[in-house]
Structure 1
């Protein structure tokens, strides 16, 4: 679908939220099989994921899983940060994986072009294999999903995360971080979350509608997350902006205490992603502080985590036992439904695209931005 032909229908977003269950059940193994045909040895010296908006956030969401499988650090970077800065020092043998649903985001396309000039290996992940991104990439991983029409990305985000996880599993195979049995175990674990995702959506419906009904355009809304769910918090912010043009703020779990805490007052809504894992203790402290400042504390946490639930005014329960490195696949649901219900109840037009000029300027900034011939001082390919 061309961007110019988009139809702004809220049923599209709702259908996309629900269709994620089938996507999670069906896509992981097919994506990994495809990646295995694209990438052969040697293992990359460093893995970069790049993108803008959701396509950047998905790299942050996948980072913990990929590092645990490959046993090496990776970098999830916003496209400009890679194409104009990090590319200068990227080591030889690096693999640059660029994500763009449309395949036409200028900064992400240039990331692959400049990476190619450096002699780095590149993979483009996209829904559009005829795009500029696909043309710029050495290898193209096309993800697929049932197109339900334009809306704030839900399936596209999940498909992007799953695609990066598939790349991470393949890199782990090449580098010896996982053997065939280990890859199979991880794929089975990811696929096995599909019915859990269905439970998560069903459980989130009522609290999302109720919380959304309390929000106004002037309500301060903060989304917090640490580790892989910092990406989830950024994604949550994006859904509120895209669906309802609400000036929501995302923040890293720790940094909230150093910044947005001071803006927390009665009426402020703070959503804390608190999965079972390395930072649930800090998430509980932040929830307690929100309440101390008379704000509304919202927890997205395991359904059996009574300690965390007791610290929240609103709870979005996620079935227990989800490993933290895979939690972004489920913990994104709360914000999807909050933003959907808020926009629907307030009769918002997604992205403000009832304003033709706003839409025109947006497309100019993202899709028609000038891509320079090269970056000054870019090291030559070996």
Structure 2
């Protein structure tokens, strides 16, 4: 047997998922102070508006930052449409605006181009990447290194949770806080979730023959639903549709029936309470409802995974929520006879323009 054929499918993705507690510890120990320093310098400029830019997984991290900035700081925020500047050559006035570009590699040409345009248009620009020498980092006035270490698997895992934590620390810095104190339990809790891998393996069996899936959440959990759907699609190729719970009720609920798998991410807090009417409607429709959230919600569903959220602020729970869903995508892919390390038609750096 050759060395190549003896390699276990998914070993790269598995190894990088397992690194997440160490990455979170490193970011808290080595990254918190530099992030706070950047935040203080940007806060002194008093930006009136924030624009966030990203693609794929990093776009979901940017959406998480949008919730943080709007809820914690009351800052108006938007997610950019990069084609307005890269394809249509629009010339926006971004005076007194903060533009945050989030990218694992920092190498996508459209991110670099839109950030360069934003800086020329008067914006304060911040790159959040895993590569301080990347073109995006060099194009931006400020940079935050998420310190995740080299990521070789095509499905991003450790860089996503690192981006979330880095963005949380940055927003806390903008409001004059530290952030590291509230986050100090995250590495230990992440280890506990990873140790429950067998629970996820058993849960994955119900999706082996799924033809489509629906994921839903509200508030801070909505970026988790979008990221989990992305992971399922890029690894197992299952069409996975993600909706805010409110949007799900505005039409898409009609496609849910008693054979439609639905995954609900229920944050322990206001987002989870806002999702409750959606969960009730899904149960009324007889949906195969699987919940990732507090024990009471899991017990009321068809199945689920209890998240260790006691005492964890709602805004930090997405860093824990996504880990079992990463494991789920991994296990579903293996159960369907595919290799999560080798998604078809994908490259680590996507050359969008």
> Normalising by structure 1, what TM-score?
0.81
Cα offsets for 1:184-223 (capped at 9, x unmatched): 3x211112222122223334x3342122112245432111
**1:25 matched to which residue of 2?**
25
Matches within 5 A, 1:360-375: 366-367=350-351, 369-370=352-353
Equivalent position SS for 1:124: strand
Residue pair 1:271, 1:300 contacting (<8 A) in 2 also: yes
Q: 1:199 aligns with which of 173, 176, 192?
A: 192
Q: How big is the alpha-carbon RMSD for the aligned residues of Structure 1 and Structure 2? A: 2.7
What displacement does 1:330 show? 0.9
Matches within 5 A, 1:142-221: 142-147=145-150, 149-173=152-176, 183-184=177-178, 186-203=179-196, 205-216=197-208, 218-221=210-213
CA–CA distance in 1 between the matches of 2:46 and 2:86? 22
Work out the number of aligned pairs and report it. 343
**2:288 matched to which residue of 1?**
296
What displacement does 1:328 show? 0.7
**1:315 matched to which residue of 2?**
304
Residue pair 1:245, 1:352 contacting (<8 A) in 2 also: no
CA–CA distance in 1 between the matches of 2:182 and 2:93? 33
Instruction: Rate the CA distance shift 1:219–1:311 in 2: closer, same or farther, 3 A.
Output: farther
Cα offsets for 1:144-198 (capped at 9, x unmatched): 224363241110101111222232123223xxxxxxxxx23x2111122221222
Deviates more, 1:234-243 or 1:54-63: 54-63
Equivalent position SS for 1:144: coil
**2:66 matched to which residue of 1?**
63
Q: 1:335 aligns with which of 293, 303, 325?
A: 325
What displacement does 1:73 show? 3.1
Equivalent position SS for 1:300: strand
Instruction: Rate the CA distance shift 1:88–1:30 in 2: closer, same or farther, 3 A.
Output: farther
Residue pair 2:203, 2:304 contacting (<8 A) in 1 also: no
CA–CA distance in 2 between the matches of 1:82 and 1:196? 42
Residue pair 1:65, 1:326 contacting (<8 A) in 2 also: no
**2:227 matched to which residue of 1?**
235
What displacement does 1:244 show? 1.4
Instruction: Rate the CA distance shift 1:228–1:359 in 2: closer, same or farther, 3 A.
Output: closer
**1:264 matched to which residue of 2?**
256
CA–CA distance in 2 between the matches of 1:222 and 1:36? 38
Residue pair 1:220, 1:267 contacting (<8 A) in 2 also: no
CA–CA distance in 1 between the matches of 2:133 and 2:343? 26
CA–CA distance in 2 between the matches of 1:279 and 1:143? 27
> Normalising by structure 2, what TM-score?
0.87
Equivalent position SS for 1:321: coil
CA–CA distance in 2 between the matches of 1:345 and 1:261? 28
What are structure 1's unaligned runs of at least 5 residues? 1-6, 174-182, 371-382
CA–CA distance in 2 between the matches of 1:78 and 1:55? 14
CA–CA distance in 2 between the matches of 1:81 and 1:270? 35
What displacement does 1:79 show? 4.2
Residue pair 2:262, 2:289 contacting (<8 A) in 1 also: yes
**2:75 matched to which residue of 1?**
72
Residue pair 1:234, 1:251 contacting (<8 A) in 2 also: yes
CA–CA distance in 1 between the matches of 2:8 and 2:168? 31
What displacement does 1:324 show? 1.3
Residue pair 2:232, 2:240 contacting (<8 A) in 1 also: yes
What are structure 2's unaligned runs of at least 5 residues? 1-6
